[in-house]
Structure 1
Amino acid sequence: MKKLFLSLLLINFSTAFAQQKFKTENVFIITTDGFRWQELFAGMDSTIANDKKFNSDSSKVYKTFWANSAKERREKLLPFFWKTVSEKGQVYGNRWLGNKVNVKNPYWFSYPGYNEILTGYADDKVNSNDKLENQNITILEYLNNQPNFKGKVAGYSTWDVFPFIINEKRSGITVNSGIELVNGNLSDREKLLNEIQMNIPPSGSDRYDFLTYYLAKEYVTKNQPKVFFLSFDETDELAHEAKYKEYLFAANSFDKYLADLWNYCQSNPKYKDKTTFVITTDHGRGDRIKSQWTSHGQKVSDCYQIWMAFLGPDTPAMGEVKTEGQLFQNQLAKTVASLLGLDFNSNPTMGESIQNVYKK
């Protein structure tokens, strides 16, 4: 009898949760690969910037990004993030204040991290960056199978492994990644971006982030997806190349893309005050040993440390969360579902939704 009562209680709770009405009708999940929490919360690191191995000419980077306080430096580096996302939303992961965000997977690199973000759990079998079809169901695939979202889920990325992470073949989700031309009834802008992709000299990444962004924005403008995954790569690639100045400028460009996309959403009646941005990264980088800022993976002791942020109509404006606490990467998938009034359960080890992110 007790088991029956408990089962009914859980069913009633799930039903009540699913019936909650939020203002959020659309979610954009936006990532910048391997961007350290240290720069997010304190801006330019002078120790790295002054090291000739990582920055041969420090004059421009100092002129552009340096200030005496961490608050000023981070606002110079990421003005939209700190003047809009933080002021109107929530930011987690400032470990100097005891507010921690960790990955759960034991590998601390990209495919395992994105699997964890999108599926809500760490899968030990996802242990390489190889182009293998993901056997796990992502929040994107789950939503694309819901009547209200069918055909309204898509992803654009710089890194060309995402068609496999999202399992484009099985899920039926449009995923444009790497140097991939856009097909179909093309706008003039898409024709131009295709031409640039075919003729521009290659970057260290699979394509330049600016191409990913403007292709993605054109897709959003034309197709009005309800759920959109957008992933940039240059913060990771330039860090691996030990180019600190370029890494900072890539982060600054990421901030500009965020601002432009948010402003577009707020100017469009379909998205205005109905859209939540979920912003994060897949893994951290070294800092305890400063020379390891270029690296990540199991041999780099502190790169399991990440950050996350939320901006949208159901997210109370808590700003930079300064209380001690611990969140995990595996909580993002359920949080996305919760914002849309749904309960995503694909694995018993999934992280719980972050309840501060939406009004009860």
Structure 2
Amino acid sequence: MRLIWFLLSFFISVSTLAQPAQNLILVTMDGVRWQEIFNGADSTLLFDPVYSRDTASARKLFWAPTATERRERFMPFLWNTIGKQGQLYGNRQKGSRMNVSNPHWFSYPGYNEILSGYADDRIKSNDKIDNPNVTVLEFLNQQPGYKGKVAVFSSWDVIEAAVNEKRSGIPASSANEAGKPVTSADSLLSDLTMLYPREFGNGVRADFLTYFTARQYVKQKQPRVLFLSFDETDDLAHAGRYADHLRMVQSIDRYLADLWQLIQKMPQYAGKTAMVITSDHGRGHTPKARWKDHGTKTADSYQIWLAAMGPGISTSGEQSNGPVLFQNQIAATLARLLGFEFKTDHPVGPPIDSLIGNK
């Protein structure tokens, strides 16, 4: 009898641990290198006034004697929460490698690969052309219980083309698109979006506005799948503003901590939500001025990283060694986290099996 109860308890426990997530948050940080994610600030850039105008202030904010201290100071939520409750891939110093598989190494090809699981040679520019490929977001929006429960908030206007808002029917708030205010908070966000300085042009909304607009939507609509895409990290890097780039990444880390705390107070999300964070491409590193650039003329800017936590994700922390992973595996992994197999009329990379397991 005891054996029967033991086996019954064991199988119930395993079944509970293996339950997929019910909700998903995908986050992208445009052009953020794995080097900063795993090592924190780069001293050759941080202490150079060409890239960090106020080096004394930058030192106080980001410098520490060891890589572990620097990265925890730089991104405390990523390392103190996701690093302990989930997984991180892409520290090449530990033999964990993750690459894009598209041949271009810049933004739209990367976003297509993340979302569709397919490195499509037809997408070879950053032109705002509707994505011909079905994305995992569109796929999920067609599944029972998810229809009308998928939403996209992006700083860069090309993302609405990457998710093909017209065909998929998924609402994609991007760039400086005017909102439809319902509450006083909505009105304030709409006014800020229209009036706040557009430092990087009309096609880019300030990342803080993207976050708070999405946060308001989560409170009001409670989507089951949320895609948050931040862009100023890449713009600041191209401008050669290293310390400002670090500040923006750190701000996004705070936004994600705030979002995670918010959803833990909401019954629909608490204990039922997976979060996956990644980048569309990497950046150069040698000589240091190449940090500003990416693309096929910039060595190693195909190198990316990924972090994840939540139901269905094993809690093994920072990864080392293992097979090379690819950006085209992310889409199927997202679907699998929600208990689906992503299938469409184009090839799709396989899920990352090592990420999905019993907690």
Instruction: Determine whether 1:116 maps to 2:113.
Output: yes
Question: Which residue number in structure 1 is paired with residue 3 of structure 2?
Answer: none
Within the alignment, does 1:189 sit opposite 2:185 as a pair?
yes
Q: Which residue of 136, 141, 144 maps to 1:144?
A: 141
One-letter amino acid matched to 1:200:
Y
Structure 2 partner of 1:90:
87
Alpha-carbon distance, 1:80 to partner = 0.5
C-alpha displacement of 1:187: 1.8
- Matching residue within 326, 329, 333 for 1:328: 326
**1:230 has 2:225 as partner:** no
Point out where structure 2 has 5 or more consecutive residues left out of the alignment. Answer: 1-16
Cα contact 1:239–1:293 (8 A) shared by 2: yes
Q: Map 1:21-170 to 2 at 5 A.
A: 22-170=19-167
| CA shift for structure 1 position 51 | 2.3
- Contact 2:47–2:59 (CA<8 Å) still a contact in 1? no
Q: 1:358: Cα distance to partner?
A: 2.2
Counterpart AA for 1:308: L
- Please give the alpha-carbon distance, in whole angstroms, between the structure 1 residues aligned to 2:175 and 2:346: 33
Identity of aligned residues (%): 49
Instruction: Indicate which of 210, 213, 218 corresponds to 1:212.
Output: 210
Contact kept, 8 Å, 1:287 with 1:293, in 2: the verdict is yes
Aligned-partner Cα distance in 1 for 2:345–2:330:
14
Structure 1 counterpart of 2:254: 256
Between the aligned partners of 2:72 and 2:217, the Cα distance in structure 1 is 30
Q: Partner of 1:271: helix, strand, or coil?
A: coil
Structure 2 distance, partners of 1:229, 1:343, is 19
What is the SS of the residue equivalent to 2:253? helix
Alpha-carbon contact 1:117-1:332 (below 8 Å) kept: yes
> How far is the alpha carbon of 1:210 from its aligned partner?
0.4
Contact 1:288 1:302 in 2 (8 A): no
Distance 2:167 2:80 in 1: 40
Distance of 2:101 and 2:20 partners within structure 1? 30
Q: CA deviation at 1:347?
A: 4.7
Aligned counterparts of 2:176 and 2:329: Cα–Cα separation in 1: 31
Deviation at 1:21, TM superposition (A): 6.5
Q: TM-score, normalised by structure 1?
A: 0.92
Higher mean C-alpha displacement, 122-131 vs 47-56: 47-56
The alignment partner of 2:97 has SS state of strand
Where in structure 1 are there 5+ consecutive unaligned residues? 1-19
From 316, 319, 327, the equivalent of 2:317 is 319
2: distance between equivalents of 1:263 and 1:323?
32
Partner SS for 1:85: helix
Cα distance, 1:148 vs. partner?
A: 1.6
Distance 1:251 1:231 in 2: 12
Cross-structure match for 1:174: 171
Deviations 1:267-314 (A, max 9, x none): 111000100001100000001321110110110011000000111022
The one-letter code matched in structure 1 to 2:78 is F
Moved over 4 A (4+): none
Any idea what the Cα deviations from partners look like across 1:127-160, whole Å, max 9, x if unmatched? 0000111100000111111122100001000001
Residue type at the aligned position of 2:144: P
Provide the rounded CA distance (Å) in 1 between the counterparts of 2:54 and 2:340.
51
Using the alignment, how far apart are the partners of 1:61 and 1:52 within structure 2?
10
Shift of 1:208: 0.9
After superposition, the CA RMSD in angstroms is 1.3
User: Tell me, what secondary structure is at the counterpart of 1:106?
Assistant: coil
Quote how far apart the aligned CAs of 1:315 are.
1.0
Which letter maps to 1:246?
A: D
Query: 1:14 is matched with which residue?
Result: none
Normalised TM-score (structure 2): 0.92
Figure out how many residues of one structure are paired with residues of the other and give that number. Answer: 340
Q: Deviation digits for residues 149-174 of structure 1, max 9, x if unmatched?
A: 10000100000111111110100000
CA contact (8 A) 1:281 1:306 kept: yes
Distance (Å, rounded) in 1 between the aligned partners of 2:53 and 2:194: 31
| CA displacement, residues 104-142 of structure 1 (integer Å, 9 cap, x when unaligned) | 000000000000000001001100000111100000111
